[in-house]
Amino acid sequence: MDEQLFFKKLNSLCTSKEIFDFLSALEVMSDTMASGALQRISEVEVDDNGLKTPEGVLENEVFRALCFQFEFESSKLSNTGLLNALQALIKLGIDPQSTLMASLLSEGKERLGKGQLTVKNLCALGESLLEVEGPSCVTLEEIVNHVQAKDVEKWSPREMVTVYKMLQVTAREGERYQDLLNRMNSATLTIVSQLSPKFTSIILNSLVVLHQTQDVPLVTALCRHSVKHIPYFTGDELVNVLEAFLCFGHRDQIFTEALETHVPKSIFTMHPQTVSKIMQYCCQKMILSKPIFDAAAEGFISDADRFTTDQIAGYIIPFGTLNYLPPSASALFQKLETVLHARLSHFQPHTLLNLLHSCVLIQRYPVNFLPKIFSPYFLQQLQAQPPGLDRTVTSQLTQLFLTVTLECPFYEGPKLLPKYQVKAFLRPHSSLDVHLLKRVKTGLLCLLKKRIYFASEVSTPYFYTVDIEIKLDEEGFVLPAAQCEEVHRRIALCVDGQSRFCINSHNLLGEEAIKQRHLRLLGYEVVQIPFFEIESLQNCRKMADYLHRKIFPHTYGLSC
């Protein structure tokens, strides 16, 4: 039978029985046709759980005859026949230690050594070796060395993807293959639009593993291309894409909008790890997406019992970090409490601390679990595991303790010992907009006439640092900032630059929201000066008028 006619008929068959009956009727077929038949059998008989009917395939006389021929005539096979058969047999789960597989692998390696393989053949052999022998296979390096000499401009998308995968496990010695990678990255940029969801995900993952941070055009093109594939990525593929976005610092509004369309529709069928990674992406990029967060909350309420402890934390922590309570908040935190009661001992210490700390940021108080957190045994566990009791961890513990002291006066459990408390909370370097602070201070100077009447970046006895503090006496007159007697009111100005808000939003981050809440409870009059209210004020007079209205709304005559 003519090969073209053979493959047309073969591809129309949908069961292994139909394929075996078809093959039985043929008197002669080439090795390419025989290997194609094996590939078609693997396509129709193998699913995510493996071979559907092992006995119906592996015990079939036609199948056994084909295997016999491939095993004992491997040296006579064409490169295509040899390598297609090898890939099909791997997919069908044939024992890699069997004489059949050993014969085909040995023949493939021999032809590699003689330089007889094309790029397509080299990639097919590389894929097979990755499947059978794993990343430790020494022959992969030999294949990559052969590939280096080839013209990358002529490679197909599948060949490009396979070489990226091989480089992930062979390019461990620094920049050894960087020249090849540079050529591949340039060539890949020209075929981005042709890449399937699977290939897009694999290449992005490879660029992360191979630290290709310098190739911004390719990363950007792949990230943008991935937008249209969001509904079609598998869970693992979408996780790879999100990890690339995080690794390369990429953020795309269109990508977020595509996620906002996809996640609510698919939340009950998505793997928890995928949703957890989406939440992590939103959290790290400070993207408060209400459609995504609301859907994640519903998914948590429905399925949290089957989540791992890391997935539980991955779902919940972003709500606290970005200071957002979904419409289903009551049911969400009820479910969280139920899960914690059942599985508290399963959590790693640092994961549990991060989780409970995120809850207090949004006024959800885990008082039933704080006796465990403040116990000497738990604190020893924290100290024994990286990062130990570093400044971030002790700040979280101190803020938990301050929260129950100020907001849960009914709590009567163990307290946090002073030796575990910090003197001042860590303040991220980026959290204070120095330029904005300078503009506000200039406006205050214009308003109050003298610099002595306010202080900036003031450390308080209550762990927080106040951006600007103004002191008033009992009659409402401004006192010098250095004066400690007769202070009747303290005004804390929170100069909130863009970094204290979620991206493209006026929603304060959790860390800043709890700070302002606690300062009020500690007796301060908190006046928020958000960037979006003052960015349009062009001169000192306008700034002073604005500050007058914000700080002293009931007094007159202060402005210049």
Cα distances from 132 to residues 41, 89, 126, 142, in angstroms, run 20, 11, 10, 16
pLDDT of 560 strictly over 50 = no
What is the average pLDDT value for the chain, to the nearest integer? 93
pLDDT of 174 strictly over 60 = no
What is the three-class DSSP state of 319? helix
pLDDT at 355: 98
Q: What is the DSSP letter of 480?
A: P
pLDDT at 538: 85
Section 539-549 average pLDDT? 94
**Nearest Cα to 327, choosing from 376, 283, 293, 364?**
293
Residue pLDDT, tens place only, 198-250? 999 999 999 999 999 888 999 999 999 999 999 999 999 999 999 999 999 88
Q: What percent of the chain has pLDDT over 70?
A: 98
124: number of CA atoms within 13 Å, CB side?
22
Section 498-519 average pLDDT? 96
Q: Where are the alpha helices (DSSP H) in 344-491?
A: 349-361, 370-373, 376-384, 391-407, 434-448
Give strand pairing partners of 508: 501
pLDDT of 282 strictly over 80 = yes
pLDDT at 1: 73
pLDDT of 411 strictly over 50 = yes
Section 3-32 average pLDDT? 93
Cα distances from 464 to residues 321, 394, 407, 460, 509, in angstroms, run 18, 14, 16, 6, 16
pLDDT of 175 strictly over 80 = no
pLDDT at 312: 98
Strands (E), 234-373: none
pLDDT at 6: 94
pLDDT at 173: 53
Peptide bond into 480 cis (omega under 30): no
For 270, counting Cβ atoms within 10 Å of its Cβ (0-12 exposed, 13-18 middle, 19+ buried), the class is: buried
pLDDT at 385: 94
pLDDT at 172: 66
- Alpha-carbon Rg for the chain, nearest whole angstrom, is 32
Residue pLDDT, tens place only, 141-169? 999 999 999 999 999 999 999 999 999 98
**Nearest Cα to 242, choosing from 269, 214, 270?**
270
pLDDT at 559: 40
* Distance (Å, whole) CA 506 – CA 318: 17
Q: What percent of the chain has pLDDT over 90?
A: 89
* Distance (Å, whole) CA 60 – CA 281: 50
pTM across the whole model = 0.89
